[in-house]
Structure 1
C-alpha cells in the first residue's frame, strides 16, 4: 500500500466534499429553492427536485460509457480532471445567480452536479489500485471521514459570508477549496494503464461495451441483487441529503447560519461514524453494516415526520449523520468485492448508473408530493422511507458482503450464476 497515494486519494474526498456540503446540501440548495424560485407552495421543492433528477439522469446515462472509455483508452486521470474542474467552474459561476434567475441557476446547478458526480466514477475506481483487499473497507471509510472534515472546513469558511448575506462569496470560496485540494490526486495517484485502443475507437467500443457490461452485471447473481438493493436505498439517502436543509428552512424555520450549524453537526457525527464503522466493515462485512444503517435510516425518516422543534431536529440530524458515512463507505466496499479484476472502471460506471438512476426518482417524488400537497414537506419526507424499506428487503437476499479478509468473498462476486 502506497501511503502517499492513499493520502492523495482521501484528500480528494476532502476537496469535493466542499461542493457536497455548500452547494448540494445546504446554502445553494436552500437559496435556489427559497429565493431564486420561491417556495411558498412547494414550487422551489419541485424545481430543486428537477435539477437533481436531471443531473443524475445525465450522469446515469454517461457513466458506464465514460468508465469503459477510461479503461480502454487509458485516459482515466484526464477524464477525472475534466469532470472535476467542470464542477469547480460551474460552482464559481453560481455567484452570478440572483433571485428570479430560475433557468440560469438550474443550468449551472446541473453542470456542477454532473461534474461532481461524474468525477466520482473515476475516483472510486482508484480504490482497488491503491489498497489491498483487507484494507479496502478501512481506506474507503477513511476517505469518507476525511471528506466530512472537508465539509466542516468549507462550511466554516462560508459561515461568515452567509451571516453577512454575501452568498456569492460562499460559492466562490467553495470553488477555490474544491479546485485547490483536488490537485494532489492528479499528481500522486497511479498513472493510467496503457491504452488498449485509440480514443475514437475506445468511444465506439465503450458504447457497445456498455451493453456487454450490463449483461455481465446481470449475469452475476449477487452483484445483480446488491445493485438492485443499492438502487433503492441510495435513492433514499440522496433524497434526504438534497432536501434536508430545505425541509429545515421551510418547515422548521431555520435561517442560513443555523443551517450551516446544523450541517456542521451532521458532518462531525458522520466523520466519527465513518471511522467507527471502518473496522467493523472489514471484520463483520459490509452487508451487516449496511443492514444496520438501513434500520437507522428508517427510524430517521419516521422521526422527521413527527419532529416539531428545532432542538428535536438537531438531535435527529446527529443520529442521521452517524450513519451517513458508514452506509456510503460500506456500500463502496461491498461493490469492490463483487467486481472482476481489471474491469473496475466499467463496473463502477454501472455502480454510478444504479446510484444516479436511483437519485432520479426520489427527488422527483419529494418535489411532486410537496407541490401537490401545497408544500407539505412532512408527507414528502415520509414517502422517502419506502426506499429504505424496499432496499433492506432486497439486501437480505444477497449472499455476499462478508468479512473482507475472506478469500472466497471475491469469488462469490464473480461467479456467473442464475437466479
Structure 2
C-alpha cells in the first residue's frame, strides 16, 4: 500500500488551499449573481421573455430557476457517492480538478449562449453550477487534513476574504469592459459575454497554484461496491443520530426552511430587479452591478456585526432577529419599484446575507453533540440539507412565476419560508435534550 501524507500546519500548503477561494469565487459573483443574469434577462426579453425547450414554453426566469434547481439536485445525489470514493481511495485532488475544469470550461461555453437555440447555453449554465458546487465538496474536505481544528476558523475566514477580493476585482474588470464596450468596439451583449470567458480563465489559471501544492493522498484501497455507498451511509447515520438531539434536530428543521429563502434570494435577486425595477434608459446594467457590489461590501461588515451581537445575546436570539428581519425585507421588497428603493433594499440584504450564513454555520457547530468525533459527516449532512433547500426554493420560486406570470408573486413564497423558519427557531430549546417530543 502506498500512502502520501500531508504535514498539518504547513504554511505553503495552507496558502495554496486558500488560493482556490480566490480562483473559484468569481463564479458565484459573475455568473450566478451579476453579469450572466443581466445578460440572460436582457437577451431573452428581446425575444419576448419566453424560451422554448423540448417543445415546452417557459418564462425566461422561470426556466433558469429550474435549471439551477436541477444542478443542485445533481450535486446532492453525486457528491456523497464521489466523496465516499475520494475518502477511501485517495482521489480528492483528481475530483477537485475534474469539477473545477467542468465548471470553468462551462463558464467559457456560456459565451456561445444563443437565445434562439438555448439548449447548449443552458447546459453550460447547468454544468458550471455542478462544477462549482461539486469542487467545493473536495476542496472543503482537505481542511481537516492540512490544519489542526484550532486553525480552521482563521483559515476559512482568510479563504473567504481572498475569494471576496478576487471576485470583486474580476467583477470590476467586467464592469469596466461592459461600460466601455463602445470604445472597445464591442456591442454591450458581446462585452458581457467576454466576462464569461474571463471567469473560466481566472478559475482555471489561479487554481493551478492550489494543485501545485495539494497532493492526492494515495491509500492503495480498491474501490469496491460497499465503498461506493459509504457517503450515503454516513448521511443516513447522521440523520438517525439526530433523533437523540432535540436542539440540533429542531435547529436543522428551522435552518432547512429559512435557508430556502436566503439561498433563493441570492440567486434570484438580479432577475427580480431586472424585470420589476423601473430603470432609466441605459441605467439597468450599471445599476444592477453596483447593487451586487453593494451587497458584497456590506456582507462582510454584516457578518462581523452579527458575530458581536450573537456574542452578547446568544446565537439563537441573534438568528431569530435576523430571520425576522429577512421576512420584513421580503415584505418591503414586494413593493420595490424604483432604482433608489432597490439600492436601499440591496444594502440591507447585504448586511444580513453574509451574517445569516456565517451565524447559521457557527450555530450548527455549537449545537453538535458533545465530544463529536466525526464532524465531517455532520457538516456533510448540513451541506446536503442546504442544497436540498435550494432545490425546493428555486423550484417553488420558478413555479409560482410560471403559473402567475409574475416574478413579483414569487416573493410571497420567500416570505412564507422566513416566517415558518422563524416559528421553528422559536421551538429550538436553549439547552440540549436527548428526548424529543
Equivalent in the alignment of 1:406: none
Query: Taking structure 1 as reference, are residues 418 and 209 closer, same or farther at Cα in structure 2, changes over 3 Å only?
Result: same
The CA deviation string for residues 215-248 of structure 1, in whole angstroms up to 9 with x for no partner, is: 3345544433332222212211111111111111
* Structure possessing the higher relative contact order (Cα contacts under 8 Å, 6 or more residues apart): 1
Q: How far apart are residue 171 of structure 1 and its match?
A: 0.1
Equivalent in the alignment of 1:178: 203
Paired residues of 1:235 and 1:358 also in contact (CA < 8 A): yes
CA distance in 2, matches of 1:90, 1:121: 18
Aligned residues: 405
Paired residues of 1:73 and 1:196 also in contact (CA < 8 A): yes
Equivalent in the alignment of 1:50: 66
Equivalent in the alignment of 2:427: 397
- The normalised TM-score by structure 2 is 0.81
Q: How far apart are residue 70 of structure 1 and its match?
A: 3.0
Task: Give the stretch that moved more between structures: 179-188 or 348-357.
Answer: 179-188
Equivalent in the alignment of 2:262: 237
Choose which of 409, 417, 424 in structure 2 pairs with 1:387: 417
The question of 1:62 aligning with 2:92 is answered: no
Query: Taking structure 1 as reference, are residues 247 and 227 closer, same or farther at Cα in structure 2, changes over 3 Å only?
Result: same
The question of 1:199 aligning with 2:230 is answered: no
The question of 1:157 aligning with 2:207 is answered: no
Task: Give the stretch that moved more between structures: 388-397 or 318-327.
Answer: 388-397
CA-based RMSD: 3.1
Task: Give the stretch that moved more between structures: 139-148 or 249-258.
Answer: 139-148
CA distance in 1, matches of 2:313, 2:96: 32
Task: Give the stretch that moved more between structures: 194-203 or 235-244.
Answer: 194-203
Tell me, what secondary structure is at the counterpart of 2:427? coil
Query: Taking structure 1 as reference, are residues 220 and 274 closer, same or farther at Cα in structure 2, changes over 3 Å only?
Result: same
Paired residues of 1:138 and 1:279 also in contact (CA < 8 A): no
Task: Give the stretch that moved more between structures: 323-332 or 270-279.
Answer: 270-279
Superposed, 1:167-316 pairs within 5 Å as: 167-188=192-213, 195=219, 197-201=221-225, 202-254=227-279, 255-278=284-307, 286-316=315-345
Larger-Rg structure: 2
Equivalent in the alignment of 1:331: 360
Paired residues of 1:33 and 1:39 also in contact (CA < 8 A): no
The CA deviation string for residues 73-108 of structure 1, in whole angstroms up to 9 with x for no partner, is: 333333223222211111111111122232222211
Task: Give the stretch that moved more between structures: 341-350 or 379-388.
Answer: 341-350
Paired residues of 2:295 and 2:346 also in contact (CA < 8 A): yes
- Uncovered stretches (5+) of structure 2, i.e. residues with no partner: 1-8, 51-57, 182-187
Paired residues of 2:26 and 2:170 also in contact (CA < 8 A): yes
Paired residues of 1:26 and 1:259 also in contact (CA < 8 A): yes
Paired residues of 2:109 and 2:121 also in contact (CA < 8 A): no
Choose which of 98, 102, 113 in structure 1 pairs with 2:114: 98
Tell me, what secondary structure is at the counterpart of 1:302? helix
Query: Taking structure 1 as reference, are residues 296 and 121 closer, same or farther at Cα in structure 2, changes over 3 Å only?
Result: farther
The structure richer in helix per residue is: 1
Tell me, what secondary structure is at the counterpart of 2:409? helix
Tell me, what secondary structure is at the counterpart of 1:199? coil
Tell me, what secondary structure is at the counterpart of 1:306? coil
The question of 1:371 aligning with 2:395 is answered: no
The CA deviation string for residues 377-407 of structure 1, in whole angstroms up to 9 with x for no partner, is: 222123212112222222333457x9xxxxx
Choose which of 31, 34, 41 in structure 2 pairs with 1:26: 34
CA distance in 2, matches of 1:294, 1:123: 29
Equivalent in the alignment of 2:54: none
Choose which of 10, 13, 27 in structure 1 pairs with 2:21: 13
Equivalent in the alignment of 1:117: 133
Paired residues of 1:34 and 1:44 also in contact (CA < 8 A): no
Task: Give the stretch that moved more between structures: 274-283 or 176-185.
Answer: 274-283
CA distance in 1, matches of 2:88, 2:434: 23
CA distance in 1, matches of 2:331, 2:288: 21
Tell me, what secondary structure is at the counterpart of 2:115? coil
CA distance in 2, matches of 1:387, 1:67: 30
Superposed, 1:69-88 pairs within 5 Å as: 69-88=85-104
Paired residues of 1:73 and 1:198 also in contact (CA < 8 A): yes
Q: How far apart are residue 417 of structure 1 and its match?
A: 5.6
